[in-house]
Structure 1
Amino acid sequence: MIDHENNNRGLIDTHEALQLAQSMELDLVVVSEGKDAPVAKIVNYGKLQYQKKKRQGHSARPTVKEVRLRPNVGVADYNLRIEQAVGWLSKGDSVKFVIRLRGREHQYREQAGELLERIVTALGQVGKVQSLDKRSLVAQIIPA
């Protein structure tokens, strides 16, 4: 058994452990089911549940970052977006690149596809391609 101050009390009878927890107005929680004897801990169960729920909320953040580009993007903007994507991929997020065409830009669809290929090769070291759709000009890259 482990008490409320994280001190190991060793093997204690269950009835004794329950009385000890009740005297401190805390709960006796089984932490792990061991082969020989289960490990129990004296904690505030409501607080434990709250912290567990709070940790799950942090891990549920969106992990897909979207980058929208135009086919005539400048060199500095392109490099900035690649650096941002490398940072996101190293953190474990996936990145979705979308190339938008408007009006007469549809004539240069091949150049937009080449830009998408350039992006994929630039991020080949830190990520791998999950999906590459040249028709809709979308590339989804996940961490390697």
Structure 2
Amino acid sequence: MLMNEKIKATEVELTGLNGEPLGIMPTSEALAMAKKLKVDLVCTSLMSSPPPCKLIGAGDAKREKQQAKAAERGMKVKEIRLTPQIEEHDYETKLRQAEKTLKSGNAVLFVIRIKGKEGAAAKELLEQLITDLKEAGTKTSGIQLSGKQASVQLNPR
């Protein structure tokens, strides 16, 4: 993402602070307008001619750059393993860990190892985790029970 004087194009297609189109104008004129309004001129794409640029408040430009970098990096999936006979304290610890991961923008995959007839207890535990984390994340699909494990993935909101 190019900002201010780093934009080398001769003219740009400018969008205002509130998203209103201001038309195609010389880059020097767009920079002067940005300085006058005490905002940044940010180029959103270099793939078209003239490149689309927009006026963004100084703090917003940094935030948008960080969000673009996070989107480019992609979302990671953190696996958290549990057992159906989990103690209350351990459950709360795993819950905090999952909430922290979801709030950082990554997904959480809960996996419960099953032995014998623990399938129902495992499913109940996963449903409890989903309801406890509904503010931080949403499940991508239903609970999968397969052979020796039960799992569910939560993506951040």
**TM-score normalized with structure 2 length:** 0.55
Structure 1 residue aligned with 2:80: 67
Structure 2 residue aligned with 1:18: none
Structure 1 residue aligned with 2:26: 37
SS at match of 2:134: coil
Following TM superposition, by how much is the alpha carbon of 1:138 offset from its aligned partner in structure 2, in angstroms? 0.9
Q: Distance in 2 between matches of 1:76 and 1:99?
A: 17
Q: Select which of 111, 117, 121 maps to 1:111.
A: 121
Q: Distance in 1 between matches of 2:9 and 2:93?
A: 51
Following TM superposition, by how much is the alpha carbon of 1:128 offset from its aligned partner in structure 2, in angstroms? 1.1
Tell me which protein shows more helix as a share of its residues.
1
Structure 2 residue aligned with 1:88: 101
Q: Give the aligned CA root-mean-square deviation in angstroms.
A: 3.2
SS at match of 1:65: strand
Following TM superposition, by how much is the alpha carbon of 1:81 offset from its aligned partner in structure 2, in angstroms? 0.6
Asked whether 1:122 is paired with 2:132, we answer yes
**Percent identity over paired residues:** 30
Larger radius of gyration: 1
Asked whether 1:133 is paired with 2:143, we answer yes
Superimposed CA distance per residue, residues 38-89 of structure 1 (whole angstroms, 9 cap, x where no aligned partner): 3599xxxxxxxxxxxxx95994265211101111121111100101111111
SS at match of 1:66: strand
Structure 2 residue aligned with 1:49: none
Following TM superposition, by how much is the alpha carbon of 1:109 offset from its aligned partner in structure 2, in angstroms? 1.1
SS at match of 1:73: coil
Query: Which ranges of 4 or more aligned residues in structure 1 deviate by more than 4 Å?
Result: 55-59
Structure 1 gap segments, 5+ residues each: 1-5, 9-26, 42-54
Q: Does the C-alpha gap of structure 1 residues 128 and 28 become closer, same or farther in structure 2, counting only changes over 3 Å?
A: closer
**TM-score normalized with structure 1 length:** 0.59
SS at match of 2:119: helix
Letter of the 1:84 partner, please give it.
Answer: Q
